[in-house]
Each structure stands twice: as structure tokens, then as C-alpha cells.
Amino acid sequence: MAEALAPDAVAEAIGLTPEDLNRARDRERVVLARHGHRRLGLLWLLVGPGILAMLGENDGPSMLSYAASGATYGVGFFLPFIVLTFAAAVVVQEMAMRVGAVTHRGYQELVHQRFGHFWGWLSAVDLLVTNFVTVITELIAVRVGMAFFGVPPVVAVALALALVAFSIAGGRYWRWERIALGLAAFNLLFLVAGIMAGPDPKAVGHALLTWTPLPSGGLQLFLLLLASDIGATVTPWMLFFQQSAVVDKGMTPRDIPQGRIDTAIGGVVAALAGCGALLAAAALYTHHVPGSHLQGAAFADLLRPIIGAPGAAVFSLGLIEAGALAMMTISASTAYALGEVLSGPHSFNRRLSDAPSFYAFNLSLALLAAIVVLIPGAPLLAITLNANLLATVLMPAALVLLLLLANDRELMGPQANRRSLNVAAGVVVVAVALAGCAYAVVAFLDAIGLRLGA
């Protein structure tokens, strides 16, 4: 009698790869939880991509942008504006999740297939440029955060790179995702720092309800922070990451309700953390700290005499988490996109030996960014704010392509966008485009000597 084959050998014999088997094992747990009517257990198994997209976007430049808004203008217009931008992000990311669950294809792969090689490569190059600049700023955030505790820049950057390497070493999407989720929980340190700053509850409530007081002063700075805060919340890499992560996780149309909850939870938690960063730094505005002191992005050092060493330490730990998590998720979005456009491996469910290019893409961008970050005398805050501005400028094209995919009934069938969602998404596209254009116009006028605003 022939010896029975092991399950893995049987799978290999019928053409299944280790990637297929890993994803099938994850799906088996989902099926058992659904059949057992374990709603919380089912949600636990399916959350991940949405939370990571939102909290990954609460990265170093984003939190420094929110902090710069608070330090420059205090508690007022920008507090409810942050909440609004995350509501817009939920609209966008829900579409990315739904498209991935229905088509089982990543954003980059679908763009390449549906719109041709030109748009496929253009979107890939746009993402690569934006991600490279953004990863530089993530390392800046880690460097600034660790500097508060006396860690030398070289050591800080090396530790961040080691975390990325450790997270991708397991050959399992589930492992990578759970490491990232564990790290993401510490994004709420910014909310703790905001509470420790002792904001006036009446002022916070007044700002959220009335959007006042309105910013005053130079129009260019206001528009820079406006565009930067939009770019801190709605960015191209999030589309690439969440859609590809949904595919790598193996989600199906039946999982869309849990995917929506996942995305909404991420939006709420990220908004709370973003508002916390603004409230913490608004203490600088209250104590009339000159804006010129912020050019080193040393918010924690400036906050120490105002909110105390523990509050400043919490803010610094938040920066370290924000930069580290974003390095993981942004590197993953780069590897997903390049793997898809090159028709190569693009899954954390593959072993290193089976997908060397995928893991190389994950690490190479971070290594190149590390070289740039260690250049002495770099204008840290200017780089972070303009990284978000770059995301704002490049986002409309990515949004339009996503909107077209979500409305493609040949692809989406009954899961295609409803009219109300198209209206909401259209408003987001127009708002993001106008923010980038407005800042560009004002910056041009200022450059030729026509300064607007006091």
C-alpha cells in the first residue's frame, strides 16, 4: 500500500503553493468563527488592514503636522478639521477595502490591468517617490523621538531598520499584521500627552462645535498647514496598502461588513490620537512660544517646561511609535505595488526564499531613506510638512482611479459604489485637489513678492 502523503505534499501535488496554504489556514479560522456565530471572534480575525492604514497614516510627519497646527494656532479651526479629514479617509479607504475584497487584486495590479501600462507605471512611480520622501520623515520622527531620551541618531535609525527586518522575517501575513497592530496601539500615547497638557474642556468643545477661533496671520502658512493636514490623513500609499493587505489576508465579499468596522475603528482611533497631538502642542501656543523655535521639530523639548517631563516623554514615545509603524506599513505598500506591477511575488505569506524581491523592496526603501536622514543639518520640520504636501498634490489622481474601479460594475457587480458614496468621494477628490492648488498659487505669489495675508 502506498504511503499516505502529508497534507503539504498533497497540496503541492495539486498545484497549491505555501502562500495558498497559509491563507487557507487563516480562512479556515474565519469560517469556523462565522459558523459558530462568534461575532467578536470573527471581527478579531478580520480586523487589521483598516486599522493599520489609518494608524499607519498617523505617522511621524502627520503627528508633527498636527502638532505644528496646534502650536501655531492653538485650539480652534484645526481641531474639528482633523476630525473631518479622518471622516474623508474612512470614505476613501472603505472603497479600497471593498474593491480588494471583491476583486482579490491589489490597487496597483488593477490599475495596470484596467487602465493600461502607462497609468500602471505612472501610479507606481508616483507611489515610489512619495513613499521614499515619507519614509525619510518616518526615520526623522524616530530620530527626534529617541533624541529626547539621549539616543544617538545612528542608533535610533538602526533600531528602526531592525524593527522592519524583524517584522517581515516570519513568512506569514498574520504574524506581520499582529506585530503591526500591537505597535499601533501605542499611537494613543498622543491622546495621553494631549490630556496631560491640560487643555480647557470648554475651549475644546467650543472649537469642535463652532470651528473657532479661526486662524489669523499669513495665508501661506495657513494653507501649508491645511494642505499638510490633509496630506497627513488621505494619502496614496493608504490605497495601495489596504487594498493589497485585504487581498493578502484573503478577505471576500462576505467579509465586507467587518472590513467596514475595521476601517471605521481605525478612523476613530486615529482621529483621537491626531487631536491629542494638536492639544499637546497647543500648550506652546498658549504660552506664546515663537514659531521659529519649531524648525528643529523638537516639540518634546519645548513641551517639557510647560507640561512636564512625563508629558514630553509620552509625546516622544508617540513619535517613535508613529515613525516605526509607518515604516512597516509604507514599506509594505511599496513592496506590494512593485510586486504587482512587475508581476512578481507580493505576499507576506511567502517565505523569503520564495519571494526575495518582495522582501528586498520592503527593506531597500528604508535603507536608502536612512542614508538621507543621517545627513547633518537637515530642516526636519520643513521636510515633514512638505512630505505631506507632496502627498496632497499626488492624491487626486490616485483617488480618481480608485473611484473608477469602485464604479466598474464588470469588476464589482452589486458591490459597486452607490450614488451617495460617489458624491462623498467626489467631494473628497475636489477638496484634496483644491487644497494642493491653493497652496501652490499662494506660494507662487509669495515667491514673486505678492504676499497675501499679514
pLDDT tens digit sequence for 104-138: 999 999 999 999 988 888 888 888 888 888 888 88
Q: Say which residues have a Cβ less than 8 Å from residue 73's Cβ, sequence separation at least 6.
A: 215, 222, 225, 285
pLDDT tens digit sequence for 25-76: 888 899 999 999 899 999 999 999 999 999 998 988 889 889 989 999 999 9
d(CA 243, CA 400): 15
What is the grid cell recorded at 76? 480652534
Mark out the alpha helices in 342-373 (DSSP H runs): 356-373
At residue 2 the predicted structure's pLDDT band, cuts being 50, 70 and 90, is very low
Q: Is the dihedral of CA 279, 134, 426, 421 positive or negative?
A: negative
At residue 292 the predicted structure's pLDDT band, cuts being 50, 70 and 90, is very low
Is the distance from CB of 278 to CB of 126 less than 8 angstroms? no
Residue 435 has pLDDT above 60, yes or no: yes
Q: Is the dihedral of CA 441, 447, 452, 454 positive or negative?
A: positive
Is the distance from CB of 379 to CB of 64 less than 8 angstroms? no
What's the CA angle centered on 324, arms 191 and 150, to 5 degrees? Answer: 85
d(CA 238, CA 428): 15
Structural domain contains residue 302: yes
Structural domain contains residue 22: no
Residue 295: the pLDDT is: 47
Is the distance from CB of 85 to CB of 299 less than 8 angstroms? no
At residue 5 the predicted structure's pLDDT band, cuts being 50, 70 and 90, is very low
Structural domain contains residue 311: yes
Residue 382 has pLDDT above 70, yes or no: no
User: How big is the chain, counted in residues?
Assistant: 454
Residue 452: the pLDDT is: 54
Domain of 173, CATH number, reads 1.20.1730.10
Query: In this prediction, what percent of the chain has a pLDDT beyond 90?
Result: 51
Structural domain contains residue 31: no
Q: What range defines the domain where residue 267 resides? A: 47-447
Structural domain contains residue 454: no
Lowest-pLDDT range, 212-226, 357-371, 389-403, 433-447? 433-447
- The total number of structural domains that make up the chain: 1
Bigger pLDDT: 224 vs 199:
199
Q: Say which residues have a Cβ less than 8 Å from residue 299's Cβ, sequence separation at least 6.
A: 64, 67, 71, 280, 281, 284, 315
Is the distance from CB of 325 to CB of 59 less than 8 angstroms? yes
d(CA 176, CA 57): 17
d(CA 272, CA 192): 10
Structural domain contains residue 292: yes
Q: For residue 129, count other CB atoms closer than 10 A to its CB.
A: 13
- Residues 238-252: b if buried by 16+ CB within 10 A, e if exposed: bbbbbbbbbbbbbbe
- Residues 274-303: b if buried by 16+ CB within 10 A, e if exposed: bbbbbbbbbbbbbeebeeeebeebbbbbbb
pLDDT tens digit sequence for 172-207: 898 999 999 999 999 999 999 999 999 999 999 999
Structural domain contains residue 231: yes
Structural domain contains residue 205: yes
d(CA 383, CA 40): 42
Query: In this prediction, what percent of the chain has a pLDDT beyond 70?
Result: 88
Q: What is the pTM of this model?
A: 0.89
At residue 255, the 3 state secondary structure works out as helix
